[in-house]
C-alpha cells in the first residue's frame, strides 16, 4: 500500500518537473493536468472519496481555462532562457529547504498514524464518535464542514465570492472598449 | 455583453451530443448536491460538476451558446441567492434556537437517519453552496472565454 | 519517505515560481505548490488500513471510530481546492490583461515597457 502510494507520488513529481522545466507552455499545461489527475487517484488510495470528486472537477475546469489562455496568443513559443545566476540561486534555496525539511520529516511519527492519534482529546475523535448522533448526517466530512465547522465554510464562500468579483472586475474594461465600437450597454 | 465576432464553436456532431448530455450531467450534479449528507459529495463537489456541464456547452457551441441557456443576470442573481441562503440558515440559529450561530436547529429523530430528508439544516446549506459555486464558476468562465479577440493585436492593426 | 516526496512536489513548484519568466508558467507553478500542500494535509490525516469517514447502515460505532481516517483535514482541503480554482481564474484574468496591455507574457519585457 505504501509502495503504491510512493510510486504514484513519484510519478506526479516527475510530471511536475516536466511542467516546470519545459519551455513550451502548452506542454506545461498538459503535464499539470497529469499532476492533477494523479493526485485524484492518490486521494482515492488515501480513503478520501469526497476530495477526489472535487479534485477531478476542479482539474478539468482549470485545464480548460489554462489551455484557452494559451492557444491563440503567442505564449506557445518557447521562452528565452534565463540568467544562470537566477537558476543557481533557485536551486540553492530549494536545496537548503529540502535538507532541513527531510531532517524534520525524519523526526515525524511514522506514516500511517493519524494526526488525531498523536495527542489526547483530539476534536476529530469526538466528531467520529458523536457525528451521527449530534447532526444526523452519516457523512462525517459534510457534518464537520456544515455543522461543526460551518463558520469556516462561510469564510470559504466569501473568499470564492471575492475572487470571482475580482476576476470579473479585472476583465470588465474590455466590454467597455468594445461598446465604443458597437453602441451597447455595458454590463 | 456583445462580442464583435462570434466564435462558431465546434461541429454539428459535437453540438448535438452536448445538447443531449447536458441534462445527464446536470442531473448527476444535482444528485450529488442533494445526497451530500449520505454519500460522498456535498455542495462543493456538486456545484463544480454543474459548472462543468455549462463549460461543456460553452466549448461546444461558442461563447454565446452557454449564455443562451443560462443568462448572465440569472447567474449573478443565483450566485448571491446561494450565499444568502447559507447566511440566513446560519443566522436563524441565533434568533430561533438556543442562540448559537450556525446551530443545526432541526433535530433528527433517530429512525429518520440515512434518509434524504434528514440531518437538519445540512441539505439546505448544501443547496445554497451548490448554487453559489456553480454560478460563480460559470460566470467567470464565460467572461474569460469571451476574450478571444486580443485587443493588443487590434490596436497594432489600427496604428498601421 | 512519503512526506519527503510531498515536500519535493512543493519545492518544485517554488523553484518554478522563482525562475520562470512567463506569467502563465508562474501560475502553473503556483498550482503545483497548492497540489503539494493539499496532498500533505491529507497524508497527515491518514490511518493505516483506514476506511473513509462515512457511516454505512451496518457499521458498528466502535469499529468505525477505530478504523476511519481523520475527517478534519479532509474538510479543510475540500474548501481549499475550490478556493484554489477561484484564485486561478483571477490570476489568469490578470495574465490576459497584461498580455493585452503589453503584448507579451514575458515579465522582463513588461518591466522594460513601462506605461
Nearest C-alpha of chain C: how many angstroms from B132?
12
Contacts 24+ apart (CB under 8 A), A130-133: A131/C55, A131/C71, A132/B113, A132/C55, A132/C61, A133/B110
Question: Which residues in chain B land under pLDDT 50?
Answer: 1-4, 149, 151-156, 160
Query: What are residue C51's DSSP bridge partners?
Result: C68
**Residue ranges per domain, chain A?**
2-108
Give the H or E element holding residue B83: helix B72-95
Count of CB pairs separated by less than 8 Å, B with C: 36
B42 contact residues in C (CB cutoff 8 A): 78
Query: Touching C: which chains, 3+ CB pairs < 8 A?
Result: A, B
- What would the pLDDT profile of B132-146 be if each residue is shown by its tens digit? 999 999 999 988 887
Q: Rounded distance, CA B32 to CA B53, Å?
A: 14
Give the pLDDT mean for C4-26.
92
Q: Rounded distance, CA B142 to CA A81, Å?
A: 34
Tell me which residue of B26, B71, B66 sits closest to B48, measured CA to CA: B26
Give the pLDDT mean for C74-95.
93
pLDDT value at residue B95: 72
Q: Rounded distance, CA A108 to CA A123, Å?
A: 21
HSE on the CB side for B103, CA within 13 Å?
Answer: 13
**Which value does ipTM take for this structure?**
0.90
- pLDDT 10s per residue in chain A (187 long)? 888 999 999 999 999 999 999 888 889 999 999 999 999 999 999 989 999 999 999 999 999 999 888 876 666 555 566 788 888 999 999 999 999 998 988 888 888 777 777 777 788 888 888 877 777 788 889 888 888 888 899 999 999 999 999 988 888 765 555 544 444 445 5
Nearest C-alpha of chain C: how many angstroms from B152?
5
C89 contact residues in B (CB cutoff 8 A): 137, 140-141, 144
Query: What are residue A37's DSSP bridge partners?
Result: none
Give the pLDDT mean for C17-27.
91
Give the pLDDT mean for C30-56.
90
Answer whether A141 sits within 8 Å of B118, measured CB to CB: no
State if pTM tops 0.80: yes
C-alpha cell at C49: 488500513
Q: How many CB atoms lie within 10 A of CB A49?
A: 18
Task: Give chain B's end-to-end CA distance (angstroms, integer).
Answer: 28
Among B52, B90, B143, beta carbon nearest to A57: B52
**Domain containing residue B48:** 3-159
Task: Report yes or no: A132 at the B interface, CB cutoff 8 Å.
Answer: yes
Q: Rounded distance, CA C74 to CA A47, Å?
A: 10
HSE on the CB side for C113, CA within 13 Å?
Answer: 11
Q: Rounded distance, CA B143 to CA B132, Å?
A: 17
HSE on the CB side for A62, CA within 13 Å?
Answer: 33
Answer whether C82 sits within 8 Å of B141, measured CB to CB: no
Count of structural domains within chain B:
1
**CA A161, B68, C93 angle in degrees (round to 5)?**
40
pLDDT value at residue C68: 85
Q: Answer whether B4's CB lies under 8 Å from B63's CB.
A: no
Amino acid at each position: 500500500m505504501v509502495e503504491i502510494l510512493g510510486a504514484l507520488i513519484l510519478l506526479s513529481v516527475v510530471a511536475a518537473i516536466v511542467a516546470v522545466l519545459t519551455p513550451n507552455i502548452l506542454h506545461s499545461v498538459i503535464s499539470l493536468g497529469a499532476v492533477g489527475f494523479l493526485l485524484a487517484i492518490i486521494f482515492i488510495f488515501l480513503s478520501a472519496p469526497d476530495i477526489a470528486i472535487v479534485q477531478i472537477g476542479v482539474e478539468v475546469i482549470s485545464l480548460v481555462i489554462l489551455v484557452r489562455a494559451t492557444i491563440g496568443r503567442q505564449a506557445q513559443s518557447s521562452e528565452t532562457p534565463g540568467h544562470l545566476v537566477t537558476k543557481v540561486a533557485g536551486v540553492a534555496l530549494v536545496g537548503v529547504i529540502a535538507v532541513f525539511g527531510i531532517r524534520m520529516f525524519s523526526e515525524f511519527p511514522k506514516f500511517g498514524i493519524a494526526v488525531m492519534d498523536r495527542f489526547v482529546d483530539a476534536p476529530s475523535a469526538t466528531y467520529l464518535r458523536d457525528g451521527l448522533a449530534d447532526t444526523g448526517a452519516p457523512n462525517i466530512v459534510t457534518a464537520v464542514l456544515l455543522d461543526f465547522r460551518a463558520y469556516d465554510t462561510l469564510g470559504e464562500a466569501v473568499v470564492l465570492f471575492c475572487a470571482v468579483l475580482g476576476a470579473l472586475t479585472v476583465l470588465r474594461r474590455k466590454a467597455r472598449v468594445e461598446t465604443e465600437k458597437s453602441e451597447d450597454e455595458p454590463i | 455583453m456583445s462580442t464583435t465576432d462570434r466564435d462558431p464553436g465546434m461541429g454539428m456532431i459535437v453540438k448535438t451530443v452536448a445538447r443531449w448530455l447536458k441534462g445527464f450531467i446536470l442531473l448527476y450534479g444535482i444528485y450529488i448536491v442533494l445526497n451530500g449528507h449520505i454519500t460522498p459529495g456535498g455542495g462543493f463537489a456538486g456545484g463544480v460538476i454543474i459548472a462543468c456541464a455549462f463549460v461543456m456547452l460553452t466549448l461546444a457551441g461558442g461563447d454565446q451558446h452557454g449564455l443562451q441557456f443560462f443568462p448572465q443576470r440569472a447567474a449573478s442573481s443565483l450566485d448571491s441567492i446561494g450565499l444568502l441562503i447559507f447566511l440566513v440558515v446560519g443566522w436563524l440559529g441565533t434568533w430561533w434556537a438556543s442562540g448559537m450561530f450556525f446551530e443545526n436547529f432541526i433535530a433528527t429523530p433517530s429512525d429518520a437517519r440515512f434518509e434524504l430528508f434528514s440531518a437538519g439544516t445540512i441539505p439546505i446549506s448544501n443547496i445554497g453552496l451548490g448554487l453559489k459555486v456553480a454560478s460563480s464558476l460559470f460566470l467567470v468562465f464565460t467572461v474569460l472565454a469571451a476574450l478571444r479577440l486580443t485587443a493588443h493585436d487590434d490596436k497594432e492593426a489600427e496604428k498601421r | 519517505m512519503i512526506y519527503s516526496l510531498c515536500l519535493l512536489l512543493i519545492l518544485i513548484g517554488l523553484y518554478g515560481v522563482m525562475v520562470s519568466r512567463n506569467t502563465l508558467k508562474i501560475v502553473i507553478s503556483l498550482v503545483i505548490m497548492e497540489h503539494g500542500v493539499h496532498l500533505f494535509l491529507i497524508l497527515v490525516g491518514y490511518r493505516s488500513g483506514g476506511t473513509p469517514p462515512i457511516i454505512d447502515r451496518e457499521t458498528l460505532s466502535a469499529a468505525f471510530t477505530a478504523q476511519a481516517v481523520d475527517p478534519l483535514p479532509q474538510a479543510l482541503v475540500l474548501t481549499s481546492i475550490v478556493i484554489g480554482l477561484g484564485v486561478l481564474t483571477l490570476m489568469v484574468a490578470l495574465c490576459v490583461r497584461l498580455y493585452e496591455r503589453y503584448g507579451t507574457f514575458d515579465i522582463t519585457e513588461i518591466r522594460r515597457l513601462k506605461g
